[in-house]
Amino acid sequence: MKKFIVRKPWLFLDEYRGKLFTGEWPTFPELLKIQAQRFAERPLFTDFEGPNGSKNTLTYGQVYHKVIRLALWLCQNGIKKGDRVVISGKNSPEWAVSYLATFFAGGIAVPVDCALHQNEICNLIKTAEPKITLTDDDKLDFIKKEFPQLISKSLNPTVSEDYVYNLKTDADCDEKALPAGQQPSSEDTAVILFTSGTTGNPKGVMLSHKNLISDAFIAQTNLDIYPTDVFYALLPIHHAYTMQAAFICPISCGAEIVFGKSMAVSKLMRELCEGKISVMLGVPLLYNKLLAGIRRGIAAKGPLVVGLLSAFQGLSFIIKKLTGKNVGKALFKSVLRQANIYTLRVAICGGGPLAESVFRAYNAMGIDFIQGYGLTETSPIITLNPIENFKLISVGRDFSPYEEIKIINADAANSISTKGKGSIGEIVVKGPMVMQGYYKMPEETKKVFTEDGFFKTGDLGWIDNEHYVMLCGRAKNMIVTNGGKNVYPEEIEDAFQLCDDIQQITVQAYYEDDDKTSEGIEALIYPSDDFLKKLGFERSQINEGFRAGAVLDAIQKDVNAVNKDLQPYQRITKITILEKPLEMTTTQKVKRNYSK
């Protein structure tokens, strides 16, 4: 049995317990007060939105004053304890200040994806029933028109007519001027995060201050983070994954946050380099693209260099697994510098399963690369791979004894017999990070909890004897073959993550006969632009006669290569080439609401 490091990153809170907060976990206002005292002059929020794209940085002390100023403005404009405040905008210090100020005013923050269609934003605002909306300039006039009863203000401090606060002003503020009795308790709802139903009946996850703050600290029992770290918030901050891993966690340890607003390669590269990013979080698609770029750069150096670096990767990975020593950072220094990720200390992948080959490649090149797992309903992190004891096939080790994860409804017919492994079933969890419930949906809330109080994740997987979780896929996506075998679409899709010919692949069941008695495995494939250029076609031509045949034949070769490594019952037997990509979520996962 491995020895695991015992971490308790919250011990510093004892110095402030009974002075700045009471109870087990501080609220957001209490945590920011503590960190503003500890790290007043250290950088907290940074972006590259200054004059001519220059770097802008606010310290913990400056952010604290701005939060108080905005909280006073919210109170003066009618916010009472428990009122909802909608915040919709791109990643920015202004968004972050608005989020924190809502808590100081006693309100509940309702982050809304600014990239949604207008009718979807309207639906969420109607459901949330806020008193105030804070939004970027491009949505301001629309929200004012649709909701004239709301106070709607711009997040942009340069808009004089609708300014909320002025980033250039750091006048001292009297915290005592905040209304008495409005400060939240740790059990109060802090945020409502909408996860689905943006065009129907939206499902809002209610998370308390305790849910989010406890998860930030408990997650660090599997990962050391430091005040000297610089986190990169590139993915949309309204999403639970970014909000926790690149916003709340950094504040909990006194680190800096660099806000990225664009996935454009040139901007991304500049922010990684000039921001001196040490902790980055992303989704599989982002890391796959980054790795593909690195590999193209290596390939351009010729077969001799490719062979040499490949040997170095194998050696580096073996040394790291056996000794814990990271020699790859030195061996691949020039490669990492060219990719602007040499300053990275840790790269975290979430939002979906990652191919083992990608996980291995980053670790072999000297990046401490780990996976985590969770859901919006769990604040969201419930497992994380320890750097010193990561497992390639796992989405992380649980946080016992601070939470409990188990498998229910295990399928004995699909059990894994290898010693130390268990049967596949639904993953359920209990702990302080589990949500309060769905907003105004008591029946929906009841459905997702077991009788003994465990939250049902809806994910299928298994747990080994060292508390590592292995994920198979969503229960609702599982395909059951005629032979009674379970097929998990996500496992098949993962095998194509490094296939440059395919931009998007989604696996589903289809009926092989008219009687609808026999199901096969179909792949919906959206080819990449580079693949079509290689064939000499435009995208509009892929379904035209012989061109359609040429595209299908070329894609079939990629599918055949993957099929060889799959079990017979998992193999793809039908390919459908898509002219348009399927709709994706903000974490770059396909929305499986297409028609079969």
Rg (CA), the chain: 25
Which helix (H) or strand (E) element contains residue 279?
A: strand 279-282
Nearest to 581 by CA among 541, 528, 517: 528
CA atoms within a 13 Å half-sphere pointing along the CA-CB vector of 476 = 6
Helix (H, G, I), strand (E, B) or coil at 416: coil
Nearest to 375 by CA among 318, 333, 427: 427
Burial class (CB in 10 A: 0-12, 13-18, 19+), 411: middle
Neighbouring C-beta atoms of residue 315, cutoff 10 Å = 14
Nearest to 216 by CA among 75, 394, 10: 10
Neighbouring C-beta atoms of residue 413, cutoff 10 Å = 10
User: 88 near 141, Cβ under 8 Å?
Assistant: no
Which pLDDT belongs to residue 486? 77
d(CA 30, CA 286): 35
d(CA 213, CA 407): 26
Neighbouring C-beta atoms of residue 181, cutoff 10 Å = 8
Q: What is the pTM of this model?
A: 0.84
Task: Annotate 452-515 with three-state secondary structure.
Answer: CCCEEEEEEEEECCCCEEEEEEEHHHCEECCCCCEECHHHHHHCCCCCCCEEEEEEEEEECCCC
User: 135 near 88, Cβ under 8 Å?
Assistant: yes
Which pLDDT belongs to residue 267? 84
Cα-Cα-Cα-Cα torsion 94, 95, 100, 105, nearest 10 degrees, comes to 80
d(CA 576, CA 595): 13
Nearest to 365 by CA among 305, 294, 289: 294
Which pLDDT belongs to residue 278? 96
Q: Region of 45 please: left (phi>0), alpha (psi -120 to 50) or beta.
A: beta
Q: Which residues contact 371 (CB under 8 A, 6 or more apart)?
A: 348, 349, 350, 353, 354, 359, 384, 385, 390, 394, 395, 396
d(CA 467, CA 4): 11
User: 194 near 207, Cβ under 8 Å?
Assistant: no
Which pLDDT belongs to residue 160? 46
Whether the upstream peptide bond of residue 380 has omega within 30° of 0, thus cis, is yes
d(CA 433, CA 212): 6
User: 194 near 202, Cβ under 8 Å?
Assistant: yes
Which pLDDT belongs to residue 218? 98
Longest Cα–Cα distance of the chain, Å, equals: 76
Q: What is the pLDDT along the chain (596 residues), one digit of tens a residue?
A: 567 888 999 999 999 999 999 989 999 999 999 999 999 999 999 999 888 888 999 999 999 999 999 999 999 899 999 999 999 999 999 999 999 999 999 999 999 999 888 998 999 999 999 999 999 988 999 999 999 999 998 888 665 444 444 444 444 556 667 887 889 999 999 999 998 655 567 899 999 999 999 999 999 999 999 999 999 999 889 999 999 999 999 999 999 999 998 777 778 888 999 999 999 998 887 888 888 888 888 888 898 888 988 898 999 999 988 888 889 999 999 999 988 999 999 999 987 778 888 899 999 999 999 899 999 999 999 999 999 899 998 999 999 999 999 999 887 545 544 444 568 899 999 999 999 999 999 999 999 999 999 999 999 899 999 999 998 888 788 887 666 677 888 888 888 888 889 999 999 888 776 666 567 889 999 999 888 888 888 887 776 666 678 888 899 999 999 999 888 888 999 999 888 888 877 666 777 755 44
Report how far apart, in Å, the C-alpha atoms of 42 and of each of 58, 274, 395, 594 are.
Answer: 8, 17, 33, 48
What single letter denotes the amino acid at residue 482? Answer: N
Report how far apart, in Å, the C-alpha atoms of 493 and of each of 226, 358, 391, 528 are.
Answer: 36, 14, 20, 15
Cα torsion angle, 32, 36, 42, 47, sign: positive
d(CA 224, CA 6): 11
- Eight-class DSSP state of 431: S
Which pLDDT belongs to residue 414? 53
Neighbouring C-beta atoms of residue 145, cutoff 10 Å = 9
Which pLDDT belongs to residue 400? 95
What single letter denotes the amino acid at residue 513? Answer: D
Q: Region of 132 please: left (phi>0), alpha (psi -120 to 50) or beta.
A: beta
Nearest to 70 by CA among 85, 48, 49: 85
d(CA 143, CA 119): 11
d(CA 428, CA 444): 16
Which pLDDT belongs to residue 519? 73
Q: How many residues does the chain have?
A: 596
Helix 356-364 with 284-299: angle, nearest 10 deg: 60
Tokens of 260: 């990225």
d(CA 252, CA 261): 23
Which pLDDT belongs to residue 517? 57
What single letter denotes the amino acid at residue 56? Answer: N
Which pLDDT belongs to residue 546? 62
Which pLDDT belongs to residue 430? 98
Nearest to 391 by CA among 457, 290, 465: 465
User: 222 near 5, Cβ under 8 Å?
Assistant: no
What single letter denotes the amino acid at residue 132? Answer: I
